[in-house]
Amino acid sequence: MNIQIDTMIYGGAGTAPLPDGTTIAVPFTLPGEHVTINGHNEVSAILEASPDRVPAPCPHFGPCGGCQYQHATYPAQTRIKQTILHKTLATTGLTNLPETVIHTAEPWGYRNRIRLRVAIVDGTLRIGYNRRGTYEMLPIVACPISAPLLLRAAEAVLAAAAATQTWDRKLNEIELFTNSDQSSLQITFFLRTEKAIDLKAFCTQLKFTIPELAGAGITIVGESGRKDQPGANWGAAGLQYRAAGRDYWVTRGNFFQVNRFLVDALIALVTADRTGTLAWDLYAGVGLFSRILTETFTTVVGVETIVGDLANVLKGSTHRAVGSTVLDFLRMAILQRERPDLIVMDPPRAGIGLEACELLGRIQAPQMVYVSCDPVTLARDLKAMVDSGYTIQQLHQVDLFPQTFHMETVVLLTRLP
């Protein structure tokens, strides 16, 4: 079938209208392209290519499930994401929006964290990702969106594991995390069993080929519905991550923003020129925003289910880290009639949710900053907040995930007293 792509949708595919009035989604296409598709709705021939189409630099692009936009120029990628954001917001009636400001940086080598599968393939120990749309492992030799140190370290782990009689058959996955300048590295080894494993000896050997290695830990992979269990540790429990001119301690395995080139810009968007008496940082993580807000607010309250690294940031008599779900915290705040000057929210992909939006509408903070990694849940939550009296003052797209369909949005909401 020959079709013409007319628009892009969230998830990375292009769509085309069919004669019966339905639409079809085709991956790895671009607006305006004429293509031939096969019975699996995949491109078999490009009849007329978009001027924005470029050769993908990664040899695994297409079969790999990680990237969706390597076939597009980088300016085209950001335009596509902006269009998708506006269309998604419009589905809930949010059309009268401020101009979207786009923030970009180097679109390659940006990831400070990757998680790789490990398996013996054709008699050789290999690393890889999932094949697109499956749980089948795709062995890889390159990953141009990751910090160079990470793949170099992963290859060193393979070489060291292959030389043993235990690690090569017990490794299931590895997660590697580095700081912005690649001077320090943490590794988590996901093993099927810890029996006959000597982590200290293994890491001591790795240190010769990966001098950046600061610490490592083992996680035993749960089977038959069982949860993963922590195992042995070696070296430091985390690393120092420099961002916005400050040092953050990030414990191994804890969440930190993945783009090492745009963290400073994200922090500035959320915290710059914001002052007052009381600020809340909901879904605070390691305190990325809390740390800066303590310099301009008398009291900062950070909320996270596990407050480990956050508690180190919010020290002192006026600041506090609260171990709680956001919903439970907001319910209690309603009872106590607290009203902060600023609320910062950086939820997971599920968003804040309608109950939390309703509670925030009752609290009536004069300013809120919503950091979102999913436009669909963002649209739902913004509509609820606008209906409760808030106005969208600023709209920013921070492209933390180049070459992929994922997008980060920062929204400033205000309301009159």
pLDDT by residue (tens digit) across 262-300?
999 999 999 999 999 999 999 999 999 999 999 999 999
pLDDT for 222 equals 75
Q: Is the pLDDT of residue 108 over 80?
A: yes
pLDDT of residue 338: 87
Give me the CATH number covering residue 48: 2.40.50.140
Task: Tell me whether residue 384 is in a domain.
Answer: yes
pLDDT for 226 beyond 80: no
What is the predicted pLDDT for the residue at 174? Answer: 98
Query: What pLDDT score was predicted for residue 224?
Result: 62
Closest CA to 292 of 237, 369, 218, 210: 369
Find the mean pLDDT for residues 99-107: 98
- pLDDT level of residue 140 (50, 70, 90 thresholds): very high
pLDDT category of residue 254 using cuts at 50, 70 and 90: very high
pTM reported for the whole predicted model? 0.95
Residue 227: its pLDDT value, please? 79
Residues ≥6 apart with Cβ < 8 Å to 240 = 179, 184, 247, 248, 249, 250
Average pLDDT of the chain? 95
Same domain, 283 and 410: yes
Based on the domain organization, do 72 and 22 belong to the same domain?
yes
Query: What per-residue confidence (pLDDT) applies to 194?
Result: 87
280 and 213 belong to one structural domain: no
Q: What pLDDT was estimated at residue 315?
A: 85
Spell out the residues 6+ positions from residue 225 whose beta carbon is closer than 8 angstroms to its own.
Answer: none
Q: Which of 90, 125, 150 is the last residue of a domain?
A: 90
Q: Which residue has the tokens 């085309």?
A: 16
What is the predicted pLDDT for the residue at 225?
A: 62
Round to whole Å and give the CA distance between 29 and 15: 8
Distance, first Cα to last Cα, the chain? 58
72-76, 236-240, 264-268, 310-314: least confidently modelled range: 310-314
Say if 197 falls within a structural domain: yes
Tokens of 140: 């890889």
Residues 153 and 186 in one domain: yes
Around Cβ 82, how many Cβ atoms within 10 Å? 16
Question: For residue 331, what are its two tokens?
Answer: 């319910």
Amino acid at 136: E
Instruction: State percent of the chain over pLDDT 90.
Output: 90
**Predicted pLDDT of residue 184:** 98
| Contact (CB, 8 A) for 314 and 302 | yes
Q: Is 254 part of any domain?
A: no
Confidence band, pLDDT 50/70/90 cuts, at residue 198 = very high
Is 367 within a domain?
yes
| Residue at a domain's end among 55, 90, 125 | 90
Percentage of the chain surpassing pLDDT 70?
A: 99
Examine residue 98 and state whether it is found in any structural domain, yes or no. Answer: no
Give yes or no: residues 401 and 279 share one domain: yes
Do 185 and 83 belong to one domain? no
pLDDT at position 324 is: 97
Judge if 171 and 292 occupy the same domain.
no
pLDDT at 196: 84
Residue matched to tokens 């968007």: 269
The string of pLDDT tens digits covering residues 141-161 is 999 999 999 999 999 999 999
Cβ atoms within 10 Å, residue 117: 20
Same domain, 145 and 55: no
Same domain for 222 and 77, yes or no, is no
CATH number at residue 323: 3.40.50.150
Half-sphere exposure of 398 (CA within 13 A, CB side): 24
**For residue 353, is pLDDT > 70?**
yes
Question: Are 345 and 385 in the same domain?
Answer: yes
Mean of pLDDT values over 116-139: 95
Indicate if the pLDDT at residue 374 is higher than 80. yes
pLDDT at 193: 87
Mean predicted confidence (pLDDT) in 191-205: 92
Looking at the fold, whether 365 and 395 belong to one and the same domain comes out as yes
In a domain, 30, yes or no: yes
Instruction: Identify the domain boundary among 208, 241, 274.
Output: 241
Identify the pLDDT of residue 361: 96
Domain count, the chain: 3
Closest C-alpha to 249, from 202, 294, 215, 209:
215
CATH code of the domain covering residue 157: 2.40.50.1070
Per-residue model confidence (pLDDT) at position 165: 79
Q: Is residue 162 part of a domain?
A: yes
Residue 356 lies in a domain: yes
Q: Are 366 and 391 in contact (CB under 8 A)?
A: no
Tens digits of per-residue pLDDT, 39-54? 899 999 999 999 999 9
144, 42: one domain: no
Range of the domain at 155: 113-241
CA atoms within 13 A on the CB side of 208: 6
Compute the distance between CA of residue 255 and CA of residue 154 in angstroms, rounded to an integer.
Answer: 20
